[in-house]
Structure 1
Amino acid sequence: MMRKKQFQVLVLAVVLGLTVGMGLAQAQEKCSPKVDNFVLFVDQSGSMYMTYEGKDVFRGQDFIKERLAKRLLAQMNELIPQLKYNGGLSLFAPFQELLAPAPYDRAQLGKAITSIKESQEIFGRLTPMGPGFDSLDPAVLAKLSGKTAVILVTDGMHNLGKDPVAEARALYSKYSNLCIHIVSFADSAEGKKILENINKLNPCSIMVSGAEMLQNRAGLEKFVMDVFCAPLTKPKEELMILRGIHFDFDKAIIKPEWKVVLDEGASTLLKRPEVNVIIEGHCDGIGSVPYNQKLSERRAKAVYDYFAKKGVKKNRMKAIGYGKSRPKADNATEEGRAINRRVELKVVQ
């Protein structure tokens, strides 16, 4: 009975994992790059080689902060959408570039993450976070263009050199397209305060707990999406109304006085070969639905044929009739009915 229950729990966990993964994949399909570059900026000072919250006696070597950070970065790398941006990895305290920013390649970044040392000397390895920011500028940031996300992975400790908050502020002043996000492994009041102050410098900044992200897959996925993804924006439909192109009652013939306006429309389409058009024909409210449907289609086809004769390719156009279903004005008046006897162009990219 116990084995059956354990198996059911395992199956549920797998199903939930697959569901979350499918949800993320679907979200990433609707994702466009939010940044042009990203840099993982990881603290390798002595305090990062101490155990998280100091519980080394009780929790063992697996809870060394640098190892936790390395594990989290590997998981993050698996979630980063494979889009067109540059990715890099640098360490600080001391500064070390493990992967110079280049077109993002998951395997290459994975190798760089793997190369982060899991153990180093603690004593004598102070934490110059401020100078770390200072080194990041000429070595990395100065070579990039466009929007850049720096993902700072640290416990926030600082005991040598320039003030890290002041240095982060200076970077923001110099690079208007920069955003510093924070993955915090802070386990001291001082470290937490420093990171909170850096986070407050710019509303773009997102700060999360690294330890919590290791236990919360959905939270890590959200962080990745928030940092790397902008929603795909649909091209705004441009409605071009052929003003003045109206038709006599029960007619689908283009009168000579409207041809100047049609010529302007054709000229615009020829100048913009990337634009396709839906030609929509309409009628007033007099007559039956079937009759007006056919009449609206003939009106749309008349404009379609006119543009085709002017050189607009037929595969860029589609003629549709809407009958009397979409009036623009009141069909109770002659003026309103005249307005409704019309053709519109809906422009699509």
Structure 2
Amino acid sequence: MPRLRPALSALSACLLLAACQSTPPAAPPPAPATPYRGAVLAVDQTERGVQIVLPGSVLFESGKATFQQAEAAPFLDRVAQLLLTKTDKRVAVEGHTDTDGSANLNEQLSLARARAVADALSSRGVPAARLEAAGFSFRRPVASNSTEDGKRLNRRVELVVLGEQLATLTANEPPGAFESAWARLRSLIEQGRVQAVDAAAPK
């Protein structure tokens, strides 16, 4: 029996060494990311700051400054969240229309819609002092008003987070939460669905 002890000790040492050198089990694969299901914001970097384009056809009833609540709420909630958590910059809220109707009517409508968006953001906690509403009627089209698709693009409210960087606003946000407004416009132009205008470029 005494002669077996060294052999048993050596065997135990070999087993321990083999256990230490064995390959650890592979880590389980990461769980697939949950697809983003919130409102997708159309954004771009401009000289003035980060531009967020809210489609008027989604936000408002036709020819009015009254929100379509079910469609508008997700966009307004999302914008308010970004403005409250990602930046403290001032925001220009700018209303735009197509060419249907008189100049005076569109002037009033564009301003009323900009104010409605500013009020909605303020009611969601964004300080009113950071929000400045203005209306531009049909003076700043992004597409020709010769087609319905072009008119639809021109009916919009743009927010410009003044002096902000797109990378700051979108950092750590889920994939699919944003799209490029101008890339979408270029795609529609290439498809022949809208005609370009000289103003259809970020400023």
Provide, for residues 96-142 of structure 1, a one-character-per-residue CA deviation record: whole Å limited to 9, x for no partner: xxxxxxxxxxxxxxxxxxxxxxxxxxxxxxxxxxxxxxxxxxxxxxx
Q: Of 142, 149, 160, which residue of structure 2 is paired with 1:328?
A: 142
Would you say 1:300 and 2:138 are equivalent positions?
Answer: no
Matched, 1:318 2:123: no
Mapped to 2, the partners of 1:294 and 1:315 lie a distance apart of 22
Residues 258 and 246 of structure 1, relative CA distance in 2, 3 Å threshold: closer
Alpha-carbon separation, structure 2, partners of 1:248 and 1:333: 20
Change (3 A) 1:346 1:239: same
Give the drift of 1:245.
Answer: 4.2
Q: Residues of 2 paired with 1:236 and 1:333: CA distance?
A: 29
Q: Distance in 1 between matches of 2:98 and 2:60?
A: 10
Structure 2 SS opposite 1:338: helix
Residue identity in the other structure for 1:327: P
Q: SS at the partner of 1:335?
A: helix
SS at match of 1:337: helix
**Structure 1 match to 2:41:** none
What is the Cα deviation at residue 246 of structure 1? Answer: 4.7
Structure number with larger C-alpha Rg: 1
* Aligned with 1:251 (options 64, 67, 78): 64
Answer 1 or 2: which has greater helix percent: 1
Alpha-carbon shift at residue 343 of structure 1 (Å)? 0.4
* TM-score for both structures, normalised by structure 1: 0.31
More strand by share: 1
CA distance in 2, matches of 1:236, 1:302: 22
TM superposition outliers: structure 1 runs of 4+ over 6 Å = none
1:272 equivalent to 2:76? Answer no
TM-aligned CA distance change 1:339 to 1:236, over 3 Å: closer
Contact 2:58 2:71 in 1 (8 A): no
Task: Give the structure 1 partner of residue 154 of structure 2.
Answer: 340
* AA partner of residue 253 (structure 1): T
Which of the numbers 239, 242, 247 marks the counterpart of 2:54? Answer: 242
Query: For residues 95 and 78 of structure 2, what CA distance do their matches in structure 1 show?
Result: 19
SS of equivalent to 2:83: helix
SS at match of 1:264: helix
- Cα deviations across residues 192-235 of structure 1 (Å, max 9, x unaligned)? xxxxxxxxxxxxxxxxxxxxxxxxxxxxxxxxxxxxxxxxxxx8
How far, CA to CA, are the matches of 1:272 and 1:321 in structure 2? 26
Question: Can you give the 5+ residue segments of structure 2 that lack an aligned partner in the other structure?
Answer: 1-46, 164-203
Q: Is the 8 A contact 2:48 2:160 kept in 1?
A: no
CA-CA distance at 1:291 after TM superposition: 1.2
Residues 96 and 138 of structure 2 are in contact (CA less than 8 Å); yes or no, is this contact kept in structure 1?
yes
Mapped partners of 1:348, 1:289: distance in 2? 28
Matches within 5 A, 1:85-124: none
The Cα offsets for residues 71-106 of structure 1, whole Å up to 9 and x where unpaired, read as xxxxxxxxxxxxxxxxxxxxxxxxxxxxxxxxxxxx
Q: CA deviation at 1:327?
A: 1.2
Partners of 1:284 and 1:248 in 2: CA distance: 14
Q: SS where residue 106 of structure 2 aligns?
A: helix
| CA 1:316–1:338: 2 relative to 1, 3 Å | same
State whether residues 247 and 341 of structure 1, in contact with CA within 8 Å, keep that contact through their aligned partners in structure 2: no
> Number of paired residues?
115
CA distance in 1 between partners of 2:54 and 2:102 (Å): 25
TM-score by length of 2: 0.52
C-alpha distance in 2 between matches for 1:295 and 1:236:
24
Percent identity, please.
Answer: 38
1:279-332 Cα offsets, whole Å, 9 max, x none, are: 000111111111110000000011011001000000000000000111122212
2:108 partner SS: helix
